[in-house]
Chains A and B, each alone.
Chain A
């Protein structure tokens, strides 16, 4: 206990270093910019900025990625409130009440509510991050080779189901990713496998694949559609604040949404887009001012925004402890972790505990930066949210090129990134799951080592894969993972239906922005 407290204290001291503070501010600002631009997603932003973190210390790099993540989730609310277009799917529910408030001349109040609730949602989610992560990480100490194999399969079944219209297509995407992950030298015998040139000796560069699948593919998606002028962001003149009474009213809403968002975040397979609708619905159910819903309710904005930001801390728990990211953004974040040479699991809370606790402390401080930068810069970010896709297309392309080249200073990395960009574009067009491919590229080698080591120790006896209770638990979880999208889709649809009931909103329109 004392040791943990001292690690937490040391983490805060490290996180408060000038470079970390500078990176937090930069990351949050970058995240808000990405989040407030419809068409760009949090996952895309984190993937794009991943190469920038290579030269940084692991904790600083992770803090930057965490800051972009949190900033982007909040940033989505700015365009949702001001131009009725959610910057990210996580803010779809915010648009319902937020835009109504804007129409009533209360845009400043709506933005303050969004920022204030996001801050509390994110901050409270850090409690569970601190509390549950070490406990869950200890569980993985019981894992042997066979268990690691099943864990990698479980991770894939979870992510394959998320954001896939067809479960089988999601699983096919995962299997395709696993197959691509076998390119390169055999990790055990060193034999060349499926290598057209020696460039691929270390396998497919995960970062290039990430940038291609998430960022470059989005450029192609933007390039294929007719460029439309964005709606004029409403200029607001009202004060960005809430009265003491209004803060008192939204307090229980924030608390409830924190719990909802946190649970949704911890649950692999669910994400911020589900949490925002659930948070919004719950705020309406418990509200004493139900008549204000659909006409611009601060409780509605608070419920949605606190819930989607509470997901951030929660979703990091399975990512850091089990190596199972629940959604696209955390899959990219895990890529950042692996690229830094770190493996999710007990090591992060043992050998690398100082780094992990610095990241956690940074994650707490990021919430304060989000509040400050969000409140000060709202008017400026509102103008950025109008940036045309015509400007975004070449700008993001250039950043994708530089980002992928920066890793090994090799033109071939750009070629790989571009190839995965085209692959990602086609996959998204045909409802395949790009996040599953990315996760498979990360989990593939872990699963392969697990499977082959297990078979080697058992002299080829396949029974070893079913020899322990943990194996059976993981097999059971794989089945749950495959079936969970059915439940999650129903939950999301029901939440969306409940959210728009009586408000006259078109949920299809609100969630139509194509984001990864």
Chain B
């Protein structure tokens, strides 16, 4: 048994409890299917928990963290994750193109891509989105609240 699986089981029970709490507020006829799925998830999670306990008695308990996060590069991962979240925020305020160029440049240079290759990648992606999505498919890309206000 891996200790990491305790997290999985706990997560599933929290999900069940959350949905069950909100389900009780629904009228009876609307409860049928959510109740069925909650029971299903709860039952399967409990079954897995039993399997875990049996495995723990038989083979002992191991951490599992090293296996799950083998070769994990925390700095690189969290920089990419934060950049992605900031990119989303940037799109909301400044529209699509400016944050895209900044996001790509930051991540590419952080990941040590040579500047020339980084520039080529940015140009290719921006051109692809402009021609394929905006021109060919007619997708309207986000303008951004600040950019919209400035235009007015």
Q: Using a CB–CB distance below 8 Å, which chain A residues touch chain B? A: 52, 54-55, 166, 168-169, 171-172, 175-176, 178-179, 182, 186, 188-189, 191, 193-194, 219-220, 223-227, 388, 390-391, 393-395, 397-399, 401-402, 405-406, 409, 411, 414-415, 418, 429-430, 432, 444, 447-448, 451-452, 455
Provide the bound-state CA to CA distance between A496 and B125, in Å. Answer: 39
- B73–A225 touching, CB < 8 Å: yes
How far, in Å, is B51 (CB) from chain A's closest CB? 6
Taking a contact as CB atoms under 8 Å apart, the answer to whether B77 and A175 are in contact is no
Residue of A nearest to B112 (CB): A390
Is A430 within 8 A of B5, CB to CB?
A: yes
B132 within 8 A of A: yes
**What is the interface of chain B mostly: helix, strand, loop, or mixed?**
helix
A444, closest chain B residue (CB) = B37
Task: Determine the distance from Cα of A219 to Cα of B84 in the docked complex, in whole angstroms.
Answer: 10
Whole-angstrom distance from the CB of B49 to the nearest CB of chain A? 10
The answer to whether residues A395 and B125 also contact, given A175-B41, A401-B91 and a CB cut-off of 8 A, is: yes
Q: Decide: A391 near B71, CB < 8 A? Known: A52-B132, A411-B91.
A: no
Q: What residues of chain B have their CB less than 8 Å away from a CB belonging to chain A?
A: 4-5, 7-8, 12, 15-16, 19, 22-23, 26-27, 29-30, 32-34, 36-38, 40-41, 44-45, 47-48, 51, 68-69, 71-73, 76-77, 80-81, 84-85, 87-88, 91-92, 96, 100, 103-104, 107-108, 111-113, 117, 121, 125, 129, 132-133, 137-142
Contact A168 B47 (CB under 8 A): yes
Contact of B51 among A52, A55, A168 (CB under 8 A): A168
Per the bound structure, the CA–CA distance linking A394 and B91 in Å amounts to 15
Q: Which residue of B lies closest to A160 (CB)?
A: B44
Residues of B within 8 Å of A193, CB to CB, are 22, 26, 30, 34
In the complex, 14 of the A-B residue pairs with CB atoms within 8 angstroms, ordered by the A residue number, are: A166-B48, A168-B44, A172-B48, A186-B30, A194-B19, A219-B80, A224-B69, A390-B113, A394-B125, A397-B84, A402-B141, A405-B141, A418-B88, A430-B7
CA–CA, A355 and B133, complex, Å:
24
B104's partner among A398, A405, A418 (CB-CB below 8 A) is A398
CA distance A498 to B116 in the complex (A): 46
CB within 8 Å for A224 and B72 given contacts A52-B137, A175-B44, A179-B38: yes
Whether B71 contacts A401 by the Cβ 8 Å rule is no
Question: What chain B residues lie within 8 Å of A398 (beta carbons)?
Answer: 100, 103-104, 125, 129
Q: How many A-B residue pairs have CB under 8 A?
A: 158
Max chain A CB contacts within 10 Å: which of B30, B32, B91? B30
Q: Which residue of A lies closest to B34 (CB)?
A: A182
Pair A393/B111 contact, Cβ less than 8 Å: yes
Given contacts A194-B19, A390-B111, A405-B141, contact A179 B44 (CB under 8 A): no
Residue on B nearest A169 in the bound complex, by CB: B48
* Shortest distance from the beta carbon of B111 to any chain A beta carbon, whole Å: 4
A194 near B22 (CB under 8 angstroms)?
A: yes
Q: A178: which B residues are within 8 A, CB to CB? A: 37, 40-41
Q: Report yes or no: B117 in contact with A391, Cβ–Cβ below 8 A.
A: yes
Whole-angstrom CA separation of A186 from B104 in the bound complex: 41
Contact (Cβ within 8 A) B37 A452: no
Q: Check B40–A175 contact: CB distance below 8 A.
A: yes
Query: CA separation between A414 and B141, bound complex, in Å?
Result: 12
Query: Is A176 a contact of B8 with CB atoms below 8 Å?
Result: no
Quick one: given A179-B19, A179-B38, A401-B91, are A172 and B44 in contact (CB under 8 Å)?
yes
User: Are A223 and B76 CB-contacts (below 8 A) given A415-B88, A451-B33?
Assistant: yes
Residues of A within 8 A of B81 (CB): 220, 223
Whether the Cβ atoms of A402 and B41 lie closer than 8 Å is no
- Cβ–Cβ < 8 Å partners of A171 in chain B: 44
**Please, which residue of chain A has its CB at the minimum distance from the CB of B132?**
A52
Q: Tell me whether B36 and A189 are in contact (CB under 8 A).
A: no
Q: Are A179 and B34 within 8 A (Cβ)?
A: yes
Q: Which residues of A contact B29 (CB under 8 A)?
A: 188-189
7 tightest A-B CB contacts, nearest first: A390-B111, A175-B41, A223-B80, A394-B107, A178-B37, A224-B77, A406-B139
Which residue of A188, A411, A444, A451 has the most chain B CB atoms within 10 A of its CB atom? A411
Task: Apart from A405-B141, A430-B7, A452-B33, list 17 A-B contacts with CB within 8 A.
Answer: A168-B48, A175-B37, A182-B19, A182-B33, A182-B34, A193-B22, A193-B30, A194-B22, A390-B112, A394-B107, A397-B107, A398-B129, A405-B139, A411-B91, A451-B33, A451-B36, A452-B32
CB nearest neighbor in B for A430? B8
Please state if A402 and B139 are interface contacts (CB–CB under 8 Å).
yes
Which residue on A lies nearest to B22, using beta carbons? A194
Q: When chains A and B are docked, how far (Å) is the Cα of A390 from the Cα of B107?
A: 8
Which residues of chain B are near A409, meaning CB under 8 Å?
139-140, 142
Known: A223-B80, A225-B71. A391 touches B133 (CB 8 A): no
In the complex, chain A residues whose CB is within 8 Å of the CB of B68: 429-430
Given the contacts A191-B27, A397-B84, A390 and B73 also touching, CB distance less than 8 Å:
no
B138 / chain A contacts, CB cutoff of 8 Å: 55
A168 to B55, CA, bound (A): 14
